Each structure stands twice: as structure tokens, then as C-alpha cells.
Structure 1
Amino acid sequence: ECDRACPCNGRGSCNRYTARCTCFAGNQGPGHYAGSSCSLCATGYIGVSCEIRNTEFSIGGISSLQHLSASEGAAAVASTALSPAVLFRDGAFDILYSCGTSSIAAFSSEGWGNGTLTYLGQVEVSSNGGSLASSPSVASIDVHNDSHIAVRTFITTAPQNVSANQTLQPTTAVLVFHRGAGAFGGGRPVVATSLSSLTFAPTRTGRRTLGQSLSLVTNNTEKFTLAVYDAATNTLAAVAVNTTTDGTAVHLRRPGLGGGNDAAIVTLVEGAATFIGFVNVSDNTDDATASTSHVPFFTAVVVTTQRSMAALSPTASWWFAIYVLDIATGGVLALHRSTDLVGGTVTCNHTSGTVLCPFVTRCLASPKVGFLVCSISVYMKDHSLLVAISLTNLTAGAPLLLEVPEGGNVSAAAFDVLDNCVLLGMAPFAATTPSSVYRVRVLPNGLTLVSQLRFALAGAAYPVVQQVLVNSTSRSLYASLLVAAATSSSASSTASVQHINLFGIWAVDPPVVDRDGGTLVTYIGTGFIASPTPMCVLTDDTGVVAEAPALVSDTNTVYCNATLSLAADSICDMATLNLRYANRTTATTLVTMLRPLSATLLSAMTTLGTAAATVVSARSLQREAVTVTLVGYGFVAGATAAACRHEDMDGRSVYFTAPNATYVNSTLVLCKQPAGIAPTPPGSVLRYSHDGFVYSASSAMFAVVGDFSGVRLSHAGTTSVLVAGGTTAVPALRLETVDRLGNLLGPYDDSILAARCSLASPAVVGDSAGVEHGIVNQTSLRRSTAAGVAVFSDIVLVTPASGSLFIYCYAAANISSIGAVEFTIITGPPSTMMITSPRAAWRTGVLTSLSLDPSPELAVSDSAGNVISDLSQLPATVTLAYT
């Protein structure tokens, strides 16, 4: 046996003979797994436990920057610790700007009409002869006025007046260039011009603070490792790490903080900085009852640090810390250590090269979403732990936690406010793990993983997300990606900018819809908006495409009517589903809809009792909840909206509809008759629907029966004609109890009733117990009902007279309901000859011949005494002997 070498990671069962894993697919727990050792998530499932069904992203457009050299492309998207990449979209002109370390690339990025990205050209950013070096980095980009875009550059340089105890300092300057695609005509780069060399008329959109440049300096023992700029507050922030003291100096510089150009606020924090960024936080950072919609917010700086000592001391055994600093004073507004957020820690070593403690890679906040979200790198697992803290209770709020796999480093992040989600660019430490974008919903009751988009290999490596930008109104995520060139290879760095649709489909309800269409279909997903009006797109597996207008209910729900399927297959036609906004469409592969023909029905039945249950054909009992078994073919699995409907034959009256029909196999489904249903007329039927809207043309006879009301009588003979004789057997008579509408009760009549038959109508003679002289055995006229049936199988008539004969049967409990059958008695074979003329009047004499006067008359009768009048039954000759 081979199963000992086949553990399947505890996510599957191993074949004891082949040592192959059969991975669990949600049937042995919540996870859906795949792979030879069940180490991967099954297609369509994401998350640490592979239990989240992926809401797919779709790519609206990609620009690979083929017009630029490898170095130019990298310069337009690359992000570094001292120069984070910037993405900015000028919505008035539908232009997206990607700003890397030292270059700007412009793209046409129409919102809804076209999701593609078209490269327009470059913007050259230089010092233009000023005091800055010739290769500045872009710190921010924004609209300056109606005609110009403003760019603030950021560079680390050595001013001539730096003293002996000072080192390199970050410096900023402001440049502008013309707005619109027209600026990029002629095929030559656009040159950004220093703002100080231009004069503009007063404008409401201009930023007066853009005219002021900033710089920071440090002493000889420190160097800046991280820097960031906030255009809204014109604040420059940078950190310098002191590895000797395991501390970080946070430098803040903005107009009015100090008298000189080099004056700055410096705040010392514990640990080595791993991230610095600007966030908007609440004025009431300790008010747990405050609402984000009624609380003023202001800009603060988030600095995260980690312990960098070789071994942590027991008294300071925390892995990471999150500081929130006031940009005006440098004071600490809030502080959270790992012990506060994720519990106790164990000693680990950041410098061993093999074991890394968890550390914070990125933080961001949204006043509208109401949370500060930080990603914590779990290096050993190559996972990230997301921590969310309410902005209205930043100092003492309980954290929300979520672990996500396939990426120990978050390289970029942004909020999608409309969808209450945070978008995360994941950069795994393992070179074999694809980089990806995650979408995580952030709500007060927890964090939920929604989507993952894995990027394909670009050559020998996966691209890394440098920056992301969300445009909620157009449901767009713009991402700049870079595959860095390997130093030992001649391969070039490849850069691209992608437009990713933020609307996606997670599921469809119902997943099985009759091919005739018409039913209301619900698209469940994320990122839906009402304008422009979306269209539901259904594509049959034959390639036939049909569209239907959609109605947006909320950001997660869209309704539309299923279209007619033109596929030729009867049962197995599978349609793919997408949602189209103008010219942008999802690319769904995980959500499909089965489009079968209507099922064909043969019969319906119910059961009475549990052990050795009695099968009752075509009827059920009134007032009770009953399971009805429907027999036919063409039933399909997964029909969540399948329903049965009880109605009259013409469909004009519906007696009940039973939703949630249960699929058993392709020939059986179970329907639930609701309680409280009154009896329905004979001739009623059951119909079935895959989707609760289109019901089958075929039907199965079915009726709901009530209480005993009367009887119905029939006989088992093939004919109603009986031949008279000395005794004549009557075919078995079947008396069945019925309800007031005439439905046979059958096994649903559990009473035992005295049943009688008579040659005289009880309406005339009543319930007579007297002797029936025309019957051989009097007990043959008495029976008791069982399961609503009494069979009179041994009634024998004594010398019945020819002609019509009625037999009346009834239940003694209700002699007003009488069943009657009519038989026709015909004469039997000749048995007796009779002289019918009066013999006493005969006269005779001696003549030439012997004769009787009057002439004798004779009749031939059967054994019952019935005179035979049919010439065919009479003898050919009759001889009269006279003696």
C-alpha cells in the first residue's frame, strides 16, 4: 500500500494503491483544493483556506510602453523607497499619467466608451538650469489650472552650503506642462517648465503652495531610507534610521514650520522604519461611538517600524509598531505595537537572513471607508496579515484581521470607496509565486477577501505592481507594473500600465435557466453602478451572443431577463455570463448558466407511511405538507430555482406552486406540496420548471384529495354483456371511496367502511339487510373497504332475466352516494322447449291426415327460462310426436 507516502496535506484522500490524491472540493469542509498534493486552491477559489469563491477582475486595456526603451519605460513606472511611483488621471481630458523615478508617460484613457490605454508620449522633467540635478523624481502630479498640469519633483542632492556635519538632502521643485492630448503631437516629448519662470492669471484651481520648494537635511550618522510627499498639505516627510540605537528619526517639513529652508520637525520613534505615508485621521481618535460621516478629518503621517536587533529582549518583545504622527507638531497621535494587534510574540532574528519577524510593509486610510489598513509581512509563509483599525477610535479600537496568501509584500494599495474595498498589489517573496492584485472588503464587522487577479509571467519573472490608482466613478483600477531586468541576463526591463475593471460577477441566480428564457436573473458581484446602463451578455457554447438590459439594485446586485437560447443541444448547453458597460465588458470564466430544454413529465406519486411506505399514484392528501415524486426525463442538477406547479389541465387555475424542487437524478425530482392545500378537481396536473418561470408543456396527472364523501363503482369485465343461465357470474365490482370533488381516495382513506351491493336501489329501499332472491350467496353482497377500496368478486345471479340489470353499491356510512353499474343480460343457449298454445283446446279427428286444431305453438328457452327470440339460436327443425 502506498498511502503512507501520500498525505495530501490533509486536504484530500489518498488512493491506497496508486498513491494519488483526490482533493477535497468543499465536501469535507469549506476548502476547495487542487494539485497532485492538494497544495493549491481549486480553480475559482482563493484565500488561505481556499474557501472564497473568486469574483474575477477583468482587464480593460494594457499599454506595454513599446514606444519607449527599456530604461525609459522603467523610469515611467518604477517605484523606490525614496521616490514612490505616482499615477494620476486628468478626468477632464481622459488622460492617465504614470510617473516613475524620473519620467512621466501619458496615456489616453477614455472612461466608459473605451477601456483601452493608448500611449500618447513622454513628459521630460528636468531642473531647467536651476539648482536641482538633471534627473529629479516625481513626487506628485495634479491639475494646476484650466490649461496646465503641475508636477512637484523630488531629488536627493548636495547643496553647496551643506556643512561638514550634514549629508544629502531631499529637495522639491514645481514644474508645469500643458493639459490635453494635443500637447503630445509631433512625436517629440513634452518638456515641463519651471513654475517660477511662468506667469499665470489668477485661477481657482491653482495651488499657491506649489510655488514653494522644500528640503530636508540629516546629520552624518544618518541617511534617509524612506521619503514621501503630500501635495494637499505641501508636506515632505522622510525617515533616517539609526542602526546603533535601533531608532528612527522622522523628519517633517512644510511651510511655516520653521524659519529657514532647512528647518524641520524631527520626531524619534523606536525601531527601524519600514514604511512612511500620509493618511487622513479623525479629530476624535479615541471616540468609539463617533461616526465617520460626522467627524472632521485631518492629515497625519503613519510611520511603521520593526525591531532590528539580532535578538529581542524580553522586556521589548514586539515585532512591529505603527505610529500616527501629527504633521503640525510631530506628536504621537496613536501607537500600536504587534503585541496590541496580534498578541504575544516570540523571539526572532531580523538579521539572520533566514528568519524574519513580521513587519509592516504599507498602510493607508480612507475617511469615507473609516479605517486605517496596514499590511504585515509574514515572511516565513509568504503571506500578508491585514490589520484594520477604525479611524474614529484609532488609539483603542479593536483591530480587524485577515490573512491573505501569495504575497508577503504589499507593493501598492488604494481604496475603492464606492465598494468599501481596499486594492492591494501583492509582491511574493518566492519567485515562483505569481504577483497579483487582491480586493478586500473593509466593513465594521470584519475584512473579507473578494477577488484576486494573478499576473502572467513576463519572460522569466512576474511583474510587480508599482502603483495603483482607483477611479470609483468609472469603476477603474489603473496599475503600473514592472519586470526588472536581471543583472546576469541580457533581458530588458519591461514596463506596462493596465486598466482593470472594478466591476465583476461572483455568481448568478438561478444558475439553471430554461432555454426559452424570460425569467429574472440576478447577477451577484461587486462594483456595479447604475450609469451608464449596463447590459447582461449571455454567450451560448455555440458562440451565439444575446444581450438584455440590466437593472442595478445596488453595488452588489444586478437584475436582467434571460434571453432565448438558440443552442441546438437539449440539456447540456452552457452559457457564459458577462456584464457590459458601454464598451467595457467583464471577462468571466467562472460563472456559467445551464440552458436546458424543458423537462418531459411522465407521472407523479406520493408515499404513505415511512417503513414499507405505500406508493400512491397521482394524488396527495389535503391540508398536509407532502413530498411529491415527479417522474420524467430532462431534469438537471444545480437548478436552485426549480419549481413544481399544480394547476388544471388548461393552466387557467393554479392551485399551488412548490419552489425549491429537489433534484434526485435526470429522471426524478421531489416537489414539496405546502400545507393547507384544499382538494383539487380530477384531471388536474403537475408541471415542472427548471427556473420557476418557464413550465414544461408536458404534465403529469395529479390531484389533492379530501375526506370521504361518496363512492365510485366500476367492474373488471371487458364487457357489460352477461349471458343468462341457471347461474350467471358477475364480473368483479370495484367500489372506491371518493372526496366531494370525485377524487379517488385510495390509501389516503384509512377508514374501514361497510360496503353493500343490491339489485334494488337503496334510494328506494334504503339500506336493506334482507335476502336478495336473485343472488346465490348473500354474503357476496357485503364487503368492508380497505385503503378506500372494496371488491365484490363473487356475486352470482340466479336465473337472471334478459334485458338491463342494475347493481347498486354503496357505503353504509353514506347511502346517498350510490355507485351503479348496468349489465345487459342476453339469452343463453337453448335449454328447454315449451308448448305455449293452450293444449286443452286441441281437437282432432280421423281424416286423410292427422292434425291438431288449433296448431300447437312452441317456444325455446335458455336454462334461466328466458325465451329465445333470436332465430340464429333456434333449432333448424322441431319434431312433434303425437301418441
Structure 2
Amino acid sequence: RGVCRDALCVCRTGAYGSACERDCPGGYGNPCSGNGTCSSAGLCTCNSGYFGTACESACPGGATTPCNFAGECQLTGSCACYSDATNGYYTGNACASCAPEYAGASCNVSCPASRGRVNSRRCICLTGFVGDDCSLSCPMDAAGLFCANHGTCSLPAGALRTPTCACDTNYFGTACSVYCVASQCQANGLYRAQCNPTTGACECRASSLGQWTGSTCSDCIAGYWGDECSYPCLCSSRGTCTRNGGVCQCYQGAATGFWGGSDCSVCATGYTGVGCNIVNVALNAASSDLMTFKTTAVQRIVLLVVSDFALRATLVQDSANLSFFRVLRPSAVGITTVVGNLTLPAAPVRGAVYNVTHYRFVSASGLRMFYPRGVVAALVTTALPLKGLTRRHHTLAACNDTAVADMTIAGDACTVMASGCGLDAYLECDATSSTINSSAAVMSSVVFAAANSDGTLVVLVGDAAASATPNWVVVVWSALLDATVYTAINADTDTQGAPLACALAANVTVCAVYVPNVGLRLARFSYIDVNDNSTRTFAHLVSLSAAPTVTALVASVDANVGIIGFHTTVAAGSLMYLFQASTLVLLGSVASLASTLLSAASIDNNFRLLFLVLDGQLSTAFRTLNLFGVRSVYPSVVDFNGGATITVRGIAFPTNTTATPIWCNVSNSIVPATVFNDAHLECATIAVTVSSGACAVEPLSLFVSGDFAGRSTQRDGVVGLLRPVPAQLTSAVTIDGYDGYGSYEQATYVTLTGFGFVSSAAARCVLQNSSSANASSPSAETIIYETSDVVFVGASSVRCFQPAGLPVSSTPTVFRYSHDGVYFGQSTTSFQIVGPTKALIVEVDATTVVAAAVSTLPTIRAYTTDAYGNRRLMLEDFNYSIRCSSLEP
């Protein structure tokens, strides 16, 4: 039963003792019942799931699932069930059940008897509780009833799990405690009502049956019309419509835009811009149009125009005979006349001032034609022969050069050539040429070319070569440095695509770019440092669904104005927009060009004239407009009595006031203007003899005398003045209801009531001593305080801000009001600034008391005052005890 080793017995399994003479529990043949290990001391260590001296018994729950894995089997064969949050809470002989008030697959879900009961390891919630552990309480009404006994509580799925009540029909609110039916709302005076689906409060109906609003639910919500307010207004979401008929009443405000048309889809008269919130600078004709008539119906989209600024002449191509040019010259007074004409042997496609003596024209075939400038200077109508005729040939290569544009440099006419042989573009001036290095590497075609006055810098604009996106690039070449820089102007996806046209003004280039399905944009950059992102500006001009044809784009840095003319279809005619050259801000549009095509345009800086060529099928009109106009005037409300200085903002004001003094026509009174720059002047206003009241806007115009001999801006725009008579005041009451007085220590608003108020951004209220309230402008020493924080309520009231910490009124004080912040009317209303309590006053009227069982004593008045005798009235916040006696104290 064992093996002797070193005088010691090593027993075989099942035996133990010093001589292996004893059997392990369970017998020598089946030690520990085969369910454990017998030690040298004869004790069995049982395997998991068994217990007993010989490991002869299985633990509760079975040997394979002792204590159901919910506890530990003890040596005695009993289970010590788990009872902690990690392992769960169990009970029972074999730990087969959850402990009382616990549920869940792992018996770790608390289920107190006060909220639920356990059934099949599930916590079945009592009424009013939800959740896996019934710990979430359902909404209760004021009586403590869950869902007010008018709904079913549930727990919605999602991260934020909050018990909600699904209310029964006609019950609403978080706890279903609100009962509501539409008939009850109607009985309370609501014409078309419904119960709010969340709160159950009565509200106006808003459904497919109608959209109602108003204190009695009898008005249509903005945007609907009809007997039942069920028809949507067809006003492009830019206005409301009448209840009967659905006639649009378009929005008219700075925030919403100023809209017009039957469906509010166009800008109202006098406004422009994408949002119709920009006041249109209306340019008026400086003189009558010059007209030429055609024997055959023909119309040209673009005509060649050569501007000779030195001779103040404009050469305009005839649309019926492209070889014939008229020489037009405007005068300072704005009258444009035909002073000559010239006939060329071929129709040119480009033309420029060549030098001090000649013009140069180039035909489509490359024919160069020269014409003397002296003829124009002498104002002679003639057709003199050409001074010279040259033709440029290429015979050494199978390619043709393309002339892109002409420019005048230091008195010489030059042409930018783009080579068809793949070489760089080059600048050709008479017999010499200079290569514009590296241009071919970045540019596939040239759209525009120009140079500064001395020819040291040349700018090219065109399509990018070998670009993954249709970007356009600007190349700037320096003749002095023989260097070229270039940049992709529109690396962003919005402004991809070659420019439609460009214009050069001083060192600034302006280009027109079409963004598909967005519209026409303007891009502005300085070509002196084309890579400087800070000099670039992009501005959205107008929304268009198709790319337009740009027929004219000119800009002037001196006048700070640019003009672009374009059309989408020939039949629709041209549109023309004015923009600020320095910022690209939209200034206005000229809608009068919509009936014909704008074929060319130019600017005369000195005379402030805009010259347009409008080509129709049967005639061509040469139109000259005054290139100065009014954008805004402040204040726009000026008292009938005058005195206020108005600030006029506009475009291209003549600044030489010695040669061209400017006058303001204000309410048909001519007053001199003080000119600060080409966009800012000021004029003082004077009293008018007859007031149009507060309802009619009196247009403002500018009158330029001197060299311009009375040229003026239009008076039919929306910019003008209201000239109301002074408002009349009747009372001053704080928002707390204090009539005629306010606290020195509390900020508040004081409502001035009366009549004759108008909405004015320059309105002012002043509180001053009443003894000096007859002056039109209060003096500083008489003013308690003044404020421009004035809220227009209506024609009968305004609200004026009163700050805290004011000095107490030591003498009678009054409010006065001004429409324009300068002229204050004579009408006043009393208002005292009251200080802290200083005295308690008791007043008794003198009377005779008749001795009787019951006698009537006179009225006794008790009140507090401040140090200056101003009554505290409703401002008093302290209780006083007063003893009254009919006897002498």
C-alpha cells in the first residue's frame, strides 16, 4: 500500500498512516468518493460542488452549478448566498431566488415595496412609477394624483429618460391636469381656437383648417388670407397680404428690405441690391440724348469706344457702319455734342491713342490704321487720308499671334500679343517688343491687359493653364526689374471661372466673375502687389441663374465709382449697376436701360460725367449722366423751423468748390454746402414757409453752380427730409406710473404724451429748468439732463431714457422734445427729479368744528418731501406713525 524510501512510507492513493495501514474516507478503493483529494493526515479536500467527510454529497444546486453560482458552498453543505452590489442579492437554500425587494437577471436591481413588487425577477411597478427599478416617479397634479388619473405614464426610449404622461382625450399638460375643449375656448371669446397640444391653454387655431392670430383669434397670421385664413399669400415671403383678395403688401424696412411688384419679387422704387435694402443712387441726365437713326435694323452688343482724355473727346463706332466713328465732346455743363467724325478703310476691333499726334486702330486681320488727333482738336468734320498703313506678317512659323488688347504707355500705343506658337505673351510697342516672362506657363488665354501710365508694370488677367479647376490668374510684369509675379485669384470653389471683363483704375483692377447658379460677382485687387491677400475684395452684385454678357465695365479711382453693364438676353436689354471702386459696395442700378443694350461706357473725372452708348435696332442713343448723386441724409427729420445741419452722403461730389460750388436744395430753399470730400458734404437748414407735415418726404437735391452751370441731382428718389412742426407735450409718466416725477436714484423710461411725434433717429429729450424753457436750444447751465435714447411709440407718444444719479430738482423743471436734436419746441410738460425723504408734512384746512355728539373734522393730509419740497408720493418706501387729536397737543 506504499513504497519505503529512506525509511519512510510513501502511501498509494487511498491509504495513509506511518505504515499506510489506514484507509482514506470513502475506502481505499474510492478515496474521498472520487470527488476530492485525501491528505497525508487522512482528510478529504473536496472538489467544487461537493461536501462531506468523504466528499460524498453534492452541494445545493447540483455539483455542476453549486449554489447556482450565486453563493459559496460551505463545508457543512449550506450555501452562503451573495449579498452585494457587485455579485447581486440572493436568497434560498441553493441561492436560486433574489433576495426580498431585489430583481433582475443578476438580482442587483432594487425594487422597494413602496414602488413595486418582484415577479419572476422583474420589478412590476406600482401606479405612478416607471423604470427598470421603478425609481422614476410619474408627473403628479396638485392633488398628488399621477397623470391626474387622466393619462398613462410611460418611459420613452432615449438617453434622456424622463417619465411622461400620455393624456386622455381633451386632457393636457405635463400631468394631464388641464381639461380643454375648443368649444370652451370659443365660449371665452376666441373666434377660431384650439387647445395647445402641450399645455392645453386656449390659443388661436394654426392648422390646415386655418392660420389665425390676434387677441380674439379673428385675424389671419401674416402670410395667409381668406375667410378662414387658409390661403397662403403669394408674396414671395417678402410681405403680407390683405384678408380679402390676398393683395400683397410688401415689406418696407431696412431689416426686411424694400420690396415691390404684385408678388413682392422686385425692389421697390428707389432701392436696389440682393436684399433690396440699398438706397439707389439715382443719376439724372446732364442733357438730352444725342440720337442717330439707322436705315437698316441692326444692333451691336459691343461697340468700340476710344477715350481721348487729353482732348476731352470720345470716339464712338457706328453700329450700322463699323468703319465710321463719331467724335463726341461733353462740356462742363453736361451737354454732349458731335464735333467731328472719321472714316477708316476697314472696321477696327481695337483702338487707342497712339501718341501725341495720332490714334491707332487695328482690324481683325491685323491691319494697322493711323489717324491724326489734330483733326479732333480742331473740331473739324472730315475724312482725311491716313498718315500711314502697316501690316504685320508671320512667315517663319505655322502659327498666328493674337492681339489681346491695346494700351498707351508714355505716349506710345502698345499691344499685348498672345502667341499661337506656345511662347510667352509679349508687349509690342511700335517696332519694339518685350516678352512678358512666364506668362504662358500659368495662363492659357488672356482676357484683359492694361498697364500703368509709364509702362513699368503690365497686368494680364486670364484663364489658368493646366489647372485642375477652372481658376483664373493675374500676371504682373515689371519692365524695370524684368520680373513677373502671378497668383490664382480664385482658389476657392465659389469664384471659379475666367473673368467676364476687367477694368483698370490707377493701380486697382476690377473684374466681373460669374458664379454658376449664384450670380455676378465683382473682384478687386491691387496689381502693384497682386499676391497680397489683404488687398483683394469680393462682392456679390446680383443673383443670376445664367452667365450674363458684360458689355461695359469702367472704374474711376478719382470719383471712387465703377459702372458695369450686362445682359442675359438681348431681348431683355441691359442692366447697369454702380459700385464704389474702393470697396465694391453696391451704390445703385439704372433701370431705365432695360429697354435697350448698353454697348459702351466711359467716365469723365473732371466734369463728373458718365457717358453711355445705348444701341437699339433702329437708333443709337448717346446719353450723358451726371456722375454725382445722393445716397443718404442725416438727420432725415428736420424741424419745420430749421437750424439743424444735415450730413449728406453720396458719390462723386465735385470737390473744387471754387470752380464748382455746391448748394443743397432743401424744402425748395437753396443753401450753400460745405464739401469735405467726394462722398461727404453738409448743409444748414432754414425755416420753411409752408410745412408739408410729417407724412410727405420732401426730396433733397444738390445744385452745382460755377463751371457746371446749374447741373443738379434728381429729386424723385427716396432720399429726402420730413419737415414736421414741433410736437406738443401734455404729460410725462415713468414706466412705473409716476406722473410728473421720478426718482433721483433709479434709471427708468419716461413716456412723453401729446401729438405730432414722428419717428426720428436724431430725436432728443431734455429736462431743464422751467424758467428758461422759451429758447429754441436749451443752454447747458439750464439742463438737468438730455438724452438721444428716444423710442418712437406713435404719433401721440415717445419714450425717453432717464439715467440714475441725477441731481434733485431744486426748482420747477420741465421736459422738452426735439425732432432733430437741435430745435426744441416751446411746448413743455412738468417733471420733477425727487430726492430722498427729508421732511414729514401735515396739512389741515382751517375750519370751524361745531360741538356735537359726533362732529366732522377737516381733512388731514400727511406726506413726505425731499430737501427741496418735492413730494415723494409713490416713491415713499417707509411707514410712519401719526397721532391725530382734536385737542391742542
TM-score by length of 1: 0.64
Q: Deviations over 1:197-247 (max 9, x none)?
A: xxxxxxxxxxxxxxx9674658776584754343546344366797xx9x8
Which AA in structure 2 matches 1:276? F
1:42 pairs with 2:220: no
Q: 1:436 to 1:258 in 2, by over 3 A?
A: closer
Q: How far 1:575 sits from its partner (Å)?
A: 1.0
CA distance in 1, matches of 2:241, 2:330: 52
Q: Deviations over 1:315-340 (max 9, x none)?
A: 84322433426486998834444762
1:566 pairs with 2:787: no
Q: 1:666 to 1:394 in 2, by over 3 A?
A: same
- The secondary structure found in structure 2 opposite 1:452 is strand
Which of 574, 588, 601 is matched with 1:451 structurally?
Answer: 588
Q: 1:713 to 1:529 in 2, by over 3 A?
A: farther
- The secondary structure found in structure 1 opposite 2:463 is strand
Show the 5 A alignment for 1:432-511.
433=572, 435-443=574-582, 447-457=584-594, 461-471=595-605, 473-483=606-616, 485=617, 492=618, 494-511=619-636
Q: How far 1:300 sits from its partner (Å)?
A: 1.2
The match for 1:102 is: 323
Show the 5 A alignment for 1:365-404.
365-367=504-506, 370-378=507-515, 383-395=519-531, 397=533, 399-404=536-541
Show the 5 A alignment for 1:847-866.
none
Paired residues of 1:251 and 1:264 also in contact (CA < 8 A): yes
Q: How far 1:713 sits from its partner (Å)?
A: 4.6
Greater relative contact order (Cα 8 A, min sep 6): structure 1 or 2?
1
Q: How far 1:257 sits from its partner (Å)?
A: 2.7
Q: Deviations over 1:249-298 (max 9, x none)?
A: 84642245369xxx9999746776462321339xxxxxxxxxxxxxx982
The match for 1:815 is: none
Q: How far 1:632 sits from its partner (Å)?
A: 0.6
The match for 2:370 is: 173
Show the 5 A alignment for 1:163-202.
168-178=365-375, 183-184=379-380, 189-192=381-384, 194=386
Q: Deviations over 1:413-459 (max 9, x none)?
A: 222213544x132212134655233233344xx642222223345xx
Q: How far 1:11 sits from its partner (Å)?
A: 4.6
Q: 1:193 to 1:516 in 2, by over 3 A?
A: farther
Which AA in structure 2 matches 1:340? A
Q: Deviations over 1:505-562 (max 9, x none)?
A: 11111111111111111112232343233111123xxxxx111111123333221112
The match for 1:321 is: 472
- The secondary structure found in structure 2 opposite 1:725 is coil
The match for 2:862 is: 735
Paired residues of 1:379 and 1:408 also in contact (CA < 8 A): no
- The secondary structure found in structure 2 opposite 1:60 is coil
Q: How far 1:475 sits from its partner (Å)?
A: 2.6
CA distance in 2, matches of 1:591, 1:734: 58
Q: How far 1:598 sits from its partner (Å)?
A: 0.9
CA distance in 1, matches of 2:495, 2:726: 61
- The secondary structure found in structure 2 opposite 1:547 is strand
CA distance in 1, matches of 2:522, 2:569: 19
1:413 pairs with 2:571: no
CA distance in 2, matches of 1:556, 1:10: 35
Which of 617, 623, 628 is matched with 2:739 structurally?
Answer: 617
Q: 1:729 to 1:265 in 2, by over 3 A?
A: closer
Q: CA RMSD in A?
A: 4.1
- The secondary structure found in structure 1 opposite 2:379 is helix
The match for 1:520 is: 645
Q: 1:587 to 1:70 in 2, by over 3 A?
A: farther
CA distance in 2, matches of 1:69, 1:276: 32
1:722 pairs with 2:858: no
Which of 246, 261, 280 is matched with 1:54 structurally?
Answer: 280
Paired residues of 2:367 and 2:390 also in contact (CA < 8 A): no
Which AA in structure 2 matches 1:123? N
Paired residues of 1:643 and 1:691 also in contact (CA < 8 A): no
Show the 5 A alignment for 1:647-796.
647-651=769-773, 653-715=782-844, 720-722=846-848, 724-726=850-852, 728-755=855-882, 779-781=883-885, 796=886
Show the 5 A alignment for 1:528-539.
528-530=653-655, 531=657, 532-539=660-667
1:602 pairs with 2:730: yes
1:276 pairs with 2:448: yes
Listed as ranges, the gaps of 5+ residues in structure 2 are 1-207, 209-223, 225-229, 774-778
**Deviation larger for 370-379 or 582-591:** 370-379
CA distance in 2, matches of 1:666, 1:258: 74
CA distance in 2, matches of 1:633, 1:140: 66
Which AA in structure 2 matches 1:427? F
CA distance in 1, matches of 2:234, 2:663: 47
Paired residues of 2:354 and 2:412 also in contact (CA < 8 A): no
CA distance in 2, matches of 1:44, 1:337: 38
Q: How far 1:564 sits from its partner (Å)?
A: 1.8
Which AA in structure 2 matches 1:413? L
Which of 313, 335, 342 is matched with 1:116 structurally?
Answer: 335
Show the 5 A alignment for 1:199-348.
215=392, 217=394, 222=400, 224=402, 226-230=404-408, 232=410, 234-237=412-415, 250=425, 252-257=427-432, 268=440, 273=445, 275-280=447-452, 298-305=456-463, 316-324=467-475, 326=477, 333-337=484-488, 340-342=491-493
Q: Matched residues, percent identical?
A: 20
CA distance in 2, matches of 1:330, 1:251: 16
CA distance in 1, matches of 2:548, 2:644: 45
Paired residues of 2:764 and 2:786 also in contact (CA < 8 A): no
CA distance in 1, matches of 2:235, 2:639: 40
Q: 1:447 to 1:121 in 2, by over 3 A?
A: closer
Paired residues of 1:366 and 1:415 also in contact (CA < 8 A): yes
Paired residues of 2:640 and 2:688 also in contact (CA < 8 A): yes
CA distance in 2, matches of 1:595, 1:334: 58
Q: How far 1:569 sits from its partner (Å)?
A: 4.3
Paired residues of 1:8 and 1:23 also in contact (CA < 8 A): yes
Which AA in structure 2 matches 1:115? G
Q: 1:325 to 1:633 in 2, by over 3 A?
A: closer
- The secondary structure found in structure 2 opposite 1:638 is coil
- The secondary structure found in structure 1 opposite 2:456 is strand
Q: 1:669 to 1:266 in 2, by over 3 A?
A: closer
Q: How far 1:686 sits from its partner (Å)?
A: 1.1
Which AA in structure 1 matches 2:851? G
- The secondary structure found in structure 2 opposite 1:183 is coil
Which AA in structure 2 matches 1:319? P
Paired residues of 1:32 and 1:50 also in contact (CA < 8 A): yes
Which AA in structure 2 matches 1:88? D
- The secondary structure found in structure 2 opposite 1:640 is coil
Paired residues of 1:62 and 1:496 also in contact (CA < 8 A): no
Paired residues of 1:177 and 1:193 also in contact (CA < 8 A): no
Q: How far 1:135 sits from its partner (Å)?
A: 5.4
TM-score by length of 2: 0.63
Paired residues of 2:768 and 2:814 also in contact (CA < 8 A): yes
CA distance in 2, matches of 1:62, 1:248: 50
Q: How far 1:570 sits from its partner (Å)?
A: 3.9
Which AA in structure 2 matches 1:391? Y
Q: How far 1:618 sits from its partner (Å)?
A: 0.8
Paired residues of 2:834 and 2:866 also in contact (CA < 8 A): yes
